Structure 1
Amino acid sequence: MQPTHLTDPIAAIATAPGRGAVGIVRVSGHGLAALAQVLCGRTLPPRQAVYGPFRDAEGQAIDQGLALWFPAPHSYTGEDVLELQAHGGPVVLQLLLARCLQAAAEADPATGAATAPRLRLAQPGEFTQRAFLNDKLDLAQAEAVADLIAASTEAAARSAGRSLSGAFSQEIEALRQRIVRLRMLVEATLDFPEEEIDFLQQADAMGQLAAIDTGLAAVVARARQGALLNEGLQVVLAGQPNVGKSSLLNALAGAELAIVTAIPGTTRDKVSQTIQIEGVPLHITDTAGLRDEHQASDEVERIGIGRSWAAIAEADAVIFLHDITRLADPAYQAADATIAARLASVAPSRILQVHNKTDSLPPGLSPDLPAGALGLSARTGDGLDALRQALLQRAGWQAATEGVYIARKRHVLALQRCGTHLQAAREQAAAGDAALDLFAEELRLAHDALSEITGTFTADDLLGEIFAGFCIGK
């Protein structure tokens, strides 16, 4: 049985705050037919748009609009759902919402009973949570609803649409069923130990396990791409003052976001911007120039330098930017070496060496760059395309997005746990008859890891965390 707070009738404004042509007030619960009649002054036919007034307690029209009535279980939440589509002014929608809450508590003059069960305001994501609890969506599909709303690129929106349609869930379910069949085989072998060698060999248990591994690898690859589309890549621009970090941020963003001057230390705090490359969101942060905090001109710059190192520690990729015109300066080289040593201790595998200001080199002189380093000019744009591709490569992005579904880090981690347990199962199976019970246990754990993705096996606290990130009204 579901907790009481998840069966209470709920209401909320389902459209974004602000003014618009249309706004929606949504109500969900059980036994709401009388409420629909009180608000609209008539009995509403199921799943048909009805135009008319929405009435206040005195019978006066609050607004004219469309009412849609979805009796349970044929609705988004699986409960009775009433949607009132009115003009999208915030005052009108608040009046409608207040009227819904008031009307549900009114007594029927004939019986003295409440017109409908008492409503309360919906919590963030509660409509979709009820759709999940009532088996209208699985957990991955429910998350895809929020991801589709929050999609920042066309590729992310299309991938979220595929997940919402069930493409991701179907692949997870297919893997789960293959593991279930193998578990049944192993459990049967444990029940009949005298048959265990021939039974497992005849059923090709190791071949089945290998096929599951292959299928899992394909799902993991697409899920990683989907997680990248969903969450993007955190990129930090780092380097000494006046090497062109702000110019590079502006060049990548295509807008003058950061102040650019020849004065070292112009950027005193983080400046962030989200761009997209081939549909992949990149969250780029320009940081204060790195140098010894004791050399900072004031306390503000010292704080900015500290924040720069904090951003570097959390980044997925760090562009270590150098000024190619100052490489021969011993003081500049020494400072760069100090920064490089600290970067190696903080983000050794996430550093991309980039040399800026190639346009300042004498004509015909090619830059002499270290292996793997890139040269570019933030001022002219020369070399920016190579940097963009290097960032995508660093993220592990593959250009083809067909078949990619939106995913989250928790999905990728669950798939990785599944792979770990399958590897352990293979090792136990190779150990011989004495380890068959451990083989079965590892298969169970792999199965549970997959079940967490679609919500077949999910802790309640995880559900709360997931749906708390939704917008109110969805």
Structure 2
Amino acid sequence: MSAPTRTIAARATPPGVGGIGVVRVSGPESLRISHELTGRQLKPREATSTAFHGRDGRALDYGIAILFKAPASYTGEDVLELHCHGGPVIIDSVLAELSYLGVDFARPGEFTERAFLNGKMDLAQAEAVADVINSQTEVAARCALRSLSGNFSKYIESISKNIDSFRVIIEANIDFSEDPVEEIEHSVIKKKIKELKGIINDLIDRSKPGELLSTGAEVVLIGAPNAGKSSLLNTLARAERAIVTSTPGTTRDLLDATISLEGLAIRLIDTAGLRQSEDEIEAEGMRRAIAATERADLVVEVRDDTQNDPSGLEILGHDLGDQNRIVVLNKCDLSGRTFGTAEEADGAPAVAISATTRQGIDALEKVLLQQLGYQGVGEDTIMARRRHIDAMQRANSHLDQAMIQFESTDLLAEEFRLAQRALGEITGEVTVEDLLGDIFSNFCIGK
């Protein structure tokens, strides 16, 4: 993959009004651009207070310019940072001048993509940059920072080197021996494969909580009108996010609030009460409610425990099938049911609560985390993505195949090579253009 030749620029701070707005420039023309804008020869890595001049000589702004010479920069290229006043008019005028000087506007994630291409970080670290930026909880941020520091990559590289060293021995047997691997060596190979699989499985187990941390979870509250969905949303969010009245059908559209449970960001979605209705707006709200359940990580069916009426889902004849769900029996302060975990309801875990008195809420929060498969994080938790876990599982599959290929040293060595290749996809040692495009297109512009 050839090194980029375009010089790019983008705002590196969020849009809107602020005290400071940073514009980042990267590429072979950064040095020329710095001279054109400031009329000065900037010293590398030294903050210089200066005016930024337009093409007609007028001052666009007064701020600070910092030049980073390659390779000692974020991207590994010559980089110029312009620290301006944070008004959108100022930033736009500076970006317009950069465009006039021949600089291209950066694609989302292009700065970090260049950092990867120039060897400043591997692919797992590049993804961790986005995870740090998008962290919704302190726990998620800490895990992402560990991956950014190279913690995860070191584990992958260690396993890969371990596989490689053993593959070299196997291939030496191919090159210098007429005979297949001797029977006595089978036990050695089996032991090594089991050892490697154990290390990878341990890493997968440590990565699964991190995968959930990086994406967060979506939990949808459904049920009949006045079952207490909106009250439950407000109680879990510890804020008055939804209007609560005794009038059925108050909620007609999707309302949401994000909460943090043991460091996991959970987006709660309140929905319209499910019932038969001729009201077109209410019916649309119910259609949206059902649609929301289809993409949810967990569905919470809220029932009024003081009533023996059929649930909203039964009324509409909708079956959640094998959807991950729990049943919340609400208003137990009125029904007299014991608070906390209860017997299963329709095959789903059940919790008895009162959304108004908060009784049973602690038990509900524990069940929510259990059903989401989240067991908390430790200092050894890896901030991973689904593609990382898939790659590790594929590596293990190739090791499984290697376990049965003793009669063919060629096939045995090939399975080791494929396992190593799968792990190489995590750090970017093995990459394809489409994968890079998918990863970096989800970054913010300017990073």
Normalising TM by the smaller chain, what interval? over 0.9
CA deviations 1:406-448 (Å, max 9, x no partner) are 222222222222223322332x24xx414x4433333333222
Given that residues 190 and 196 in structure 1 are in contact (C-alpha distance below 8 angstroms), is that contact kept between their aligned partners in structure 2?
Answer: no
Aligned position for 1:414:
391
Q: CA deviation at 1:13?
A: 1.5
> Contact conserved, 2:53 with 2:59, CA < 8 A, in 1?
yes
Q: 1:341 to 1:19 in 2, by over 3 A?
A: closer
Residue 304 (1) aligns with residue 282 (2): no
Q: Look up the SS of the partner of 2:50 in the other structure.
A: strand
* Matched AA of 1:98: A
Asked if 1:366 corresponds to 2:347, the answer is no
Confirm or deny that 1:67 pairs with 2:39: no
Q: Which residue of 2 aligns with 1:45?
A: 43
Question: What letter matches 2:407 in structure 1?
Answer: D
What's the TM-score, normalizing by structure 2? 0.92
Q: SS of 1:79's equivalent?
A: coil
Q: Where does structure 2 lack aligned partners over 5 or more consecutive residues? A: none
Q: Report the Cα distance in structure 1 between the residues aligned to 2:304 and 2:60, rounded to whole angstroms.
A: 65
Instruction: Give a deviation string over 1:173-213, Cα, whole Å, max 9, x none.
Output: 111112222322333333324151157348x2212111111
SS at match of 1:196: coil
User: Is this contact kept in 2: 1:236–1:312, CA < 8 A?
Assistant: yes
Amino acid at match of 2:226: N
Which residue of the partner structure matches residue 470 of structure 1?
Answer: 443
Local SS of the residue matching 1:423 = helix
In the TM superposition, 1:325-474 aligns within 5 A as: 325-326=306-307, 329=308, 332-333=309-310, 342-343=319-320, 345-347=321-323, 350-362=324-336, 366=338, 369-371=342-344, 372-426=349-403, 428-429=404-405, 432-434=406-408, 436-474=409-447
Cα distance in 2 for residues equivalent to 1:18 and 1:335? 44
Match of 1:323 in 2: 304
How large is the RMSD of aligned CA atoms in angstroms? 2.2
Who is 2:14 aligned against?
Answer: 16
Give me the whole-angstrom Cα distance separating, in 1, the residues matched to 2:166 and 2:246.
67
Offset of 1:336 from its aligned partner?
A: 6.3
Partner of 1:17, secondary structure, is coil
- Note the C-alpha offset of 1:88: 1.1
Percent of residue pairs bearing the same amino acid type: 46
Q: Deviations over 1:64-91 (max 9, x none)?
A: 2211111111111111111111111111
The one of 118, 125, 128 aligned to 1:134: 118
Deviation of the 1:133 alpha carbon: 0.7
Q: Give the Cα–Cα distance (whole angstroms) in 1 for the partners of residues 281 and 185 of structure 2.
A: 69
Give, in angstroms, the shift of residue 35 of structure 1.
Answer: 2.3
Matched, 1:2 2:2: yes
Does the 8 A contact of 2:303 with 2:311 survive in 1? no
Q: Give yes or no for the alignment of 1:242 onto 2:214.
A: no
Q: Is the 8 A contact 2:138 2:263 kept in 1?
A: yes
- Which residue pairs with 1:27 in the alignment? 25
What is the 5 A alignment of 1:273-312?
273-291=257-275, 295-312=276-293
Match of 1:196 in 2: 181
* Cα distance in structure 2, aligned partners of 1:396 and 1:340: 29
Q: CA deviation at 1:99?
A: 2.2
Q: C-alpha offsets along residues 12-65 of structure 1, whole Å, 9 cap, x if unaligned?
A: 121110111111111111143232122222211111111122222233332222
Residues 439 and 241 (structure 1 numbering): CA distance in 2 closer, same or farther, change over 3 Å?
A: farther
Aligned counterparts of 2:237 and 2:421: Cα–Cα separation in 1: 43
| SS at structure 2 position matched to 1:127 | helix
**In structure 2, how many angstroms separate the alpha carbons of the residues matched to 1:176 and 1:415?**
11
Match for 1:322: what amino acid? R
SS of 1:325's partner is: coil
Q: Secondary structure at the match of 2:179?
A: helix
Specify the SS of the correspondent of 1:342. Answer: coil
Are 2:209 and 2:376, in contact at CA under 8 Å, matched by a contact in 1?
Answer: no
Q: CA deviation at 1:337?
A: 5.4
- The Cα offsets for residues 298-321 of structure 1, whole Å up to 9 and x where unpaired, read as 222222222222221221111122
Deviations 1:233-271 (A, max 9, x none): 111112222211111111111112122222333222222
- Determine helix, strand or coil for the equivalent of 1:124: coil
Which residue number in structure 1 is paired with residue 252 of structure 2?
Answer: 268
Where in structure 2 are the equivalents of 1:114-133 lying within 5 Å?
A: 118-133=102-117
Q: 1:279 to 1:320 in 2, by over 3 A?
A: same
Shift of 1:341: 7.3
Paired residue type of 2:357 = T
Measure, in 2, the Cα distance between the counterparts of 1:162 and 1:454. 15
**Structure number having the greater helix percentage:** 1
Q: Kindly state the Cα deviation for residue 161 of structure 1 after the two structures are TM-superposed.
A: 0.9
Q: Give 2:54's aligned amino acid.
A: D
Q: Which moved more, 1:11-20 or 1:49-58?
A: 49-58
Aligned residues: 441
| Alignment correspondent of 1:108 | none
Distance in 1 of aligned mates of 2:412 and 2:180 = 16
The letter of the residue matching 2:437 is: G
Shift of 1:136: 0.7
**Distance verdict in 2 for CA 1:340–1:180, change over 3 Å:** farther
Aligned partner of 1:222 in structure 2 is 206
Measured against aligned partners, the alpha-carbon deviations of 1:337-387 in whole angstroms (never above 9, x if no partner) come to 5679712x251xx1212211111135xx63794244211001111111111
The 3-state SS of whatever aligns with 1:7 is coil
| Structure 2 SS opposite 1:370 | strand
Q: Could you tell me whether the CA contact under 8 Å between 1:216 and 1:415 is conserved in 2?
A: yes
Q: 1:170, CA displacement in angstroms? A: 0.9
* 8 Å CA contact retained: 2:332, 2:354: yes
Cα distance in 2 between the residues matched to 1:314 and 1:423 = 34
Matched, 1:89 2:61: no
> What SS does structure 2 have at the residue aligned with 1:433?
coil
Residue in 2 aligned with 1:187? 171
